[in-house]
Amino acid sequence: MGRSKDLADLGALTSRLDTVGGASGSFGIGRNVIVNSAMMVSQRGTSFASVGNVYTLDRFSMYKQNTGSAFTVSQSSVTDLAGFANAFKVDCTTADTSIASNEQVHMAYKAEGQDLQRFQKGHATALGFTLSFYVKTNKTGVYTVKMFDRDNSRDVSGSYTVADANWNRYTINFPADTTGKFDDDNASSLEIFFHLVQGSDTTGGTLNTAWRANSDASAASGQVHFADSTSNNWEITGIQLETGSGAATDFEHEPYSVCLARCQRYCIDLTPTSGTTPYITGSAAAANSTVAVAHVSFPVQMRASPSLEFEAAGNYRVYNGGTLTVTSIGANGLSPVGGGINFSVSSGLSTAQAVGVYAANGTDRTLCVSEL
C-alpha cells in the first residue's frame, strides 16, 4: 500500500512538473544556462588590473575596443544583497570622455550549442529567451545587452534602466527566433554582451529588439557612457538565462562544488593550494636529466583538449632533494581528461626520479584552459 501511494505521489509530481515546465521547455533543476552565474568561482585570481579581451572570473571575459579608458575587474564581496556573496565588479580607473565611433567595452559570456537546444531556435516551435540578473552601479541610465547567434550570424538586443545605486533585479525578454538552429556541438553558439561603453557605430537609431542578420547599427542604442568618470563602478551577479518570454523564475542557486565542476570544463587551476609553495596537482617524474613530466588527471572532462596558461617559466621550480629552476614549460599530450606537462631545467635530474613541481610565487597560477 505504501509503495502504491509513493508511486501515485510521484506521478502527481511529474504531472505538475509537466504543467509547469512543459510549455517553457525548462524544469526547475538545470533551467539556468549560465555557468558561474553567482560569480562564486574565480580560479584565475580575484583582481585583474587594466583588463582587455581576457577571461577574468570563471566563464566571464572583458572586451575592449578602441578606447582610452581602463578598468579593474574583481570578484567583489557582496554584503547587501540577500542570497549572494560575490559579484563581477568593474571599476573605471581611467576615464575616456570622448567616445570613438567604433569604441566598445562589454562583459561577455559564451555558451555551447549543445546546451542551448532547449530554446528550439530555428524551428516553428522556437521559444523565447528570458535573461535576468542583479546589477548595482552608481552610474544611472539605460544599459543595453546584445545576444549574438554565432552559428547563424544573427543578433538581437534589449535594455534595462538603472534609476538608483542599489541592487536591483532586471529582466530582459528576447523573442523566439524561428530562423537558424544552434549547432549541437561544443563550440560557441550564443554570446551575450553586457555593454558598458558603445560608440556611434552601434548607438544610432532605435534599439534593435528583433532577431536579424548581425549588424552593429542600433545594437546598443541609448547606452549610457559608463567610462566618463573614474568614480564609476558596476557590479553584476545572479545572471540567469532560461526559456520563455515572461517573468523570470527565482534564481537557481547551486552548491559551490557543482559550480566549480561546471567551471572546470573550461578552466582548471593545477596549483590551487594557497601559500608559498603551490605544487602542481598530480605526480611528477624525471624523463631524463633535463625534463620533469607532471602527470595530471582532470577532475572533470574538459570541453576540448586544453592549452596551458602559466606565469614566466623561471617562476617555477623542480624539487628533487635540491631546487632546480625551470627554463621552459610545454604540453605533453594533453587531452580533455589529462596528460603530461614538461618542465625543463638545465641539468641535475636522474631518469625516473620522483620529483615535485611547484610555483615559487604563491600567487602564480598554472591553468589548463579550454574556453570557448
CB 135 within 8 A of CB 233: no
Which of 172, 216, 194, 33 lies closest to 107, judged by CA?
194
- Measured CA to CA, the distance from residue 355 to residue 322 in angstroms comes to 10
CB 119 within 8 A of CB 179: no
Return the pLDDT at 194. 99
Report the SS3 class of residue 114: helix
| Amino acid type, 122 | G
Report the SS3 class of residue 79: coil
Low-confidence ranges of the chain (pLDDT < 70): 1-28, 274-275
- Measured CA to CA, the distance from residue 236 to residue 90 in angstroms comes to 9
Which of 196, 168, 33 lies closest to 107, judged by CA?
196
Cell 550549442 sits on residue? 113
Q: In which region does residue 180 sit, left (phi positive, over 0), alpha (psi from -120 to 50) or beta (all else)?
A: left
Long-range contacts of 320-323 (CB under 8 A, 24+ apart): 320/286, 320/292, 320/348, 320/349, 320/350, 320/353, 320/355, 320/356, 322/348
Cell 545594437 sits on residue? 219
- Measured CA to CA, the distance from residue 159 to residue 221 in angstroms comes to 9
pTM passes above 0.75: yes
Burial class of 18 by CB neighbour count within 10 A (0 to 12, 13 to 18, 19+)? exposed
Return the pLDDT at 31. 95
- Measured CA to CA, the distance from residue 165 to residue 101 in angstroms comes to 28
Full strand arrangement of the beta sheet holding 188-198: 54-55, 60-65, 104-112, 188-198, 141-149, 154-162, 212-213
Return the pLDDT at 28. 53
Residues 6+ apart with CB under 8 A from 289: 347, 348, 349, 350, 351
Question: What domains does the chain contain, in order, with CATH numbers?
Answer: 25-263 (2.60.120.260), 267-369 (2.60.40)
What grid cell was written down for 139?
A: 552610474
Return the pLDDT at 95. 98
Which of 298, 267, 272, 269 lies closest to 370, judged by CA?
267
